[in-house]
Amino acid sequence: MNTDVLKLKEDIFLACKAIIEDRVLSYKNAIKMAQEAVGSESKSTAGDKHETGRAMAHLEQEKNSHQLKETQNLLQTINRIDYSKIYTNAVLGSVVETNKGSFFLSVSAGKINVNNELFIAVSLQSPIGLAMVNLKKKDSFKVNNQDFIIKNIF
């Protein structure tokens, strides 16, 4: 096996995982701030203004709790990936190089720059992930009226 490819794949995996872990931390901090806001609004004696502030802080807390749970699910998906395996078809954990860019089939984490190369972390449920799943080198697919040709998979 090519150790350079495995090292690149590990770097892509770790960068993607770091993005998701940062999101988890961000949502946890936002929840903590919303809880503090609820606590400080409780001490207010401003009547209706007090109740509105508390309600808004609770809504923010609920929204962030929901996003935290979704992001923790993404982290679980990332942790199921065996980045030390070289794949021949587009599946969870594979890197797919196309004529229009390179993709890491994992979770929707956006752009990842590794060794001055751009990779886009996409989920298997995304339109592009669905279009390329189980395809092999030299296969083609179409997304948003763009034609993609798979140049390599690892």
Q: Number of helices and strands (H, E) in the chain?
A: 3, 6
pLDDT at 3: 85
pTM: 0.86
Residues 112-133: tens digit of each pLDDT: 999 999 999 999 999 999 999 9
pLDDT at 43: 52
Q: Report percent pLDDT > 90 for the chain.
A: 79
Residues 66-105: tens digit of each pLDDT: 999 999 999 999 999 999 999 999 999 999 999 999 999 9
Helix axes 48-79, 3-42, angle to 10 degrees: 160
Q: Report percent pLDDT > 70 for the chain.
A: 92
Q: Which two tokens stand for residue 65?
A: 């709790």
pLDDT at 135: 98
The answer to whether 91 and 105 have CB atoms below 8 angstroms apart is yes
- Under the banding of pLDDT at 50, 70 and 90, the label for residue 57 is confident
The answer to whether 13 and 81 have CB atoms below 8 angstroms apart is yes
